[in-house]
């Protein structure tokens, strides 16, 4: 088990404060609530790193939503392999649905590009990527 306090010793400096994160999550939740008013979007979290962000976003969104999770990865250790592996797919039919893919960090972009195409083929009415942090230095897609 990783001890949070042991990890904190390795931190050189904080890029984004907890307060900044919470403020931005509330802003994003309000924006989603406005843009999808009168609809019931499907929130899909990409496990496992998304769980804290997903929980915060689900609370920040004030309209009804349906929730689901999937587990896919293109990583081995800390490097993207470019090969997508499904560990768990979603459990609901997305045909004609507004899909919001929640991801904690947009890194290489490979997984999210794959998911966007995957949900298009499955018949989603719209697909929006909702990410907390962006890491453009490693972007491939």
Q: What amino acid positions are annotated as catalytic residues?
A: 107
Question: ω into residue 48 within 30 of 0, thus cis?
Answer: yes
> Using CA atoms, how far apart are residues 73 and 56, in angstroms rounded to an integer?
22
> Using CA atoms, how far apart are residues 42 and 97, in angstroms rounded to an integer?
7
CB 116 within 8 A of CB 80: no
Residue 41 DSSP label:
P
> Using CA atoms, how far apart are residues 74 and 106, in angstroms rounded to an integer?
13
| Nearest CA among 127, 107, 104, 137 for reference residue 25 | 104
């Amino acid at each position: 088990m990783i001890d949070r306090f042991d990890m904190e010793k390795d931190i050189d400096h904080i890029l984004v404060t907890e307060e900044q994160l919470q403020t931005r999550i509330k802003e994003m939740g309000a924006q989603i609530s406005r843009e999808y008013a009168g609809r019931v979007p499907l929130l899909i979290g990409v496990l496992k790193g998304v769980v804290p962000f997903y929980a915060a976003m689900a609370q920040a969104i004030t309209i009804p939503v349906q929730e689901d999770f999937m587990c896919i990865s293109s990583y081995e250790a800390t490097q993207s392999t470019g090969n997508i592996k499904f560990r768990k797919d979603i459990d609901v039919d997305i045909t004609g649905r507004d899909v919001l893919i929640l991801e904690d960090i947009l890194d290489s972009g490979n997984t999210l590009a794959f998911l966007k195409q995957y949900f298009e083929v499955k018949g989603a009415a719209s697909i929006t990527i909702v990410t907390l942090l962006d890491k453009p230095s490693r972007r491939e897609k």
